[in-house]
Amino acid sequence: MGYITHRRQKVAYKKNKQNKLSIFLVSLTVSLIIVVTAVRGMDLKKKIAVLDEKEASLKAQIEKEEARAEEIEQYGIYTQTKAYYEEVAKDKLGLVYEGEILFKKE
């Protein structure tokens, strides 16, 4: 009988030792997963910040280009007016209305 009891104690000790080892390995694995996830999360936050800055820069550039396009459109409309033709005739061609005197700076 003593042999059987000793053998059961030995088997129970091995199972207890295996259980502790299993718990340690699972804990280590979970810890590594948490660390890797935290590091990746920090990297993603940095990338998000960089992309947010880039987005803001691109939005500002879009607004600037839209304003420029509006100016070009307005200039295109202006070039179709009589005032533009008169301006070009006076400035580039030196033409004047009859009876009008043109003064030029030296």
Q: Which region, left, alpha or beta, applies to residue 78 given φ > 0 means left and ψ of -120 to 50 means alpha?
A: alpha
pLDDT of residue 3: 55
Q: What is the pLDDT of residue 38?
A: 97
Tens of pLDDT, residue by residue over 52-63, are 999 999 999 999
**Which regions of the chain are under pLDDT 70?**
1-14, 102, 104
What is the C-alpha separation between 77 and 56, in angstroms, rounded?
A: 32
Q: What is the pLDDT of residue 57?
A: 97
Position 4 scores a pLDDT of 60
Residue with tokens 């939005």: 59
